Amino acid sequence: MKFTNKYINIPILFCFLFSYSLIAQENTPTLVLGEKTITMDGFFTITAVVKTNPDQPFPECKFPELVEFTKRGYSKSIARSVINGQPTVTYNITQNYQPKKEGTLKIKPFKVLVNGTEIKNEGVVVIVNKAVANPNPETENEEALTSVAEGNQKDLVNVKENAFLAISTNKLAPYVGENFTLTLAFYVAENNTADIQFDQNDIQIPEIIKKIKPESCWEESFGLTETQTSTVKLNGKTYTQYKFYQATFYPLNNKKISIPSASLRLLKDFDEKESKKRNYVTFSSKAFTIQPKDLPSHPLKQQVSVGNFSLKENISNNKAQTGQSIDYQIQIIGDGNISVIRLPEVKNDSTFDFFQPDINSIVSPQGSKIIGTKSFTFHIIPKQAGNFAMSKYFNWIFFNPTTAQYDTLKPKVVIHTKGRTISTVDTPNAENSTIYDGLENISTPEGTSNLVRLLKNEANIIIIIMLAGLIYLFLPGKRTRQ
């Protein structure tokens, strides 16, 4: 008995450590590196991928400085999933690096700090080629920013500074529910010779953001937590843009949205009688209003999403036996408010049994928009033989602001089934069949199992059994007398 009591802890300890390591591996942040061959006007990227539960705050990431590169801001994407009723969130935080020169650049081993955890990388070699000229360069929001720039320069800014603060939008009259993007940035002309420095932006910028955020709007933030620097052209003039904040908003009603003027104080050095003094200079943005428009009359006017959307389908097997499970996925892709998209409820009938879908959504900034994908993966069991179009069961109505009309997305997939009719509560007239008919034909490929989760669950079960056995062995009266 001494031998048993002494050594029974070894497998328990081993299983506990094994299970813990599986949990740690599942939740450990990972790094994904971008393209290894880029141009001078392109970016090398480092992406931190963090999987967590929805209750956790947005992860804090600190990316390294790379000797041959300059940080050029970062972006984020969020993937939300509901699988077997359990919600999960995956964050992708991408840091952009612009090369300082052409050639073969070696990046030494580096670390990325994610929520206090160091994620190491052994380094990489990046090949930087000459930039390729674009015959039709596009500047983000150029028309809107040019208008804002001219207004600021004429009315609110000392033209001698060759700089201005702007709050800009890509739309002044969106439909209710249609996206518009607000950008807060400071612009400095390339011929600016004044020595201007930012002053306490960590205090000033949050106050400005709080002031300009519109009410009665759904917000999808671009996730800027540090100043993003880039070069833009306005009215043929080159500016350095220091972007502090950017977010896409979806108005919930037709109430007028007022964006007030905001002021940013900077430090300015100048020479006066050969003595250098420090002075402050304040830049102010121009106020403007956004007036959402009502949608045209429609029975679903208060329920439809607004945006430019497309539909994509995936199916595991469109030629199946009755009783054989099929995975059917619908993806809605576009620049509308992905988070609020819902599919109409689909009901079981004499042809198919439908199970609650697994739902996954991904949103990420692209230019001045938030582009997203929402996926609905249904598990379907056919109960009759024949050819059945999914358009009979699924369709999704939305309002297209480009055409100013309501539109409907319909599936194109047709499922071909064969086999005996299966009887369920939805097929009361069928005879001599049950839902279990055709069970032997159901495909269970190995690839559908999550090996890591399976091993983790088995290890946990073993731990519980061994702990129960250990408690039993040490109960009074159960020990073997020596």
**pLDDT tens track for 420-465:** 988 765 554 444 444 444 444 444 444 444 555 666 677 778 888 8
Q: What is the pLDDT of residue 285?
A: 93
Residue 313 has pLDDT above 50, yes or no: yes
Residue 275 has pLDDT above 70, yes or no: no
Domain ranges of the chain: 34-132, 140-294, 305-443
- Quickly state the pLDDT bin for 257 (edges 50, 70, 90): very high
- Quickly state the pLDDT bin for 154 (edges 50, 70, 90): very low
Residue 27 has pLDDT above 80, yes or no: no
Q: What is the pLDDT of residue 422?
A: 82
CATH of 34-132, one of 1.10.3430, 3.20.14, 1.10.3470, 2.60.40: 2.60.40
For residues 298-324, average pLDDT: 91
Domain 34-132 matches domain 305-443 at the CATH topology level: yes
Amino acid at 34: G
Q: Answer with the residue of higher pLDDT: 194 or 133.
A: 194
Q: What is the pLDDT of residue 367?
A: 75
Q: According to CATH, what is the number of the domain 305-443?
A: 2.60.40
Task: Tell me the β-bridge partners of 243.
Answer: 185, 228
Residue 415 has pLDDT above 70, yes or no: yes
For residues 85-104, average pLDDT: 83
CA separation for the pair 345, 361 (Å, rounded): 18
Q: Tell me the percentage of the chain whose pLDDT exceeds 70.
A: 75
Residue 469 has pLDDT above 60, yes or no: yes
Q: What is the pLDDT of residue 237?
A: 85
Residue 111 has pLDDT above 70, yes or no: yes
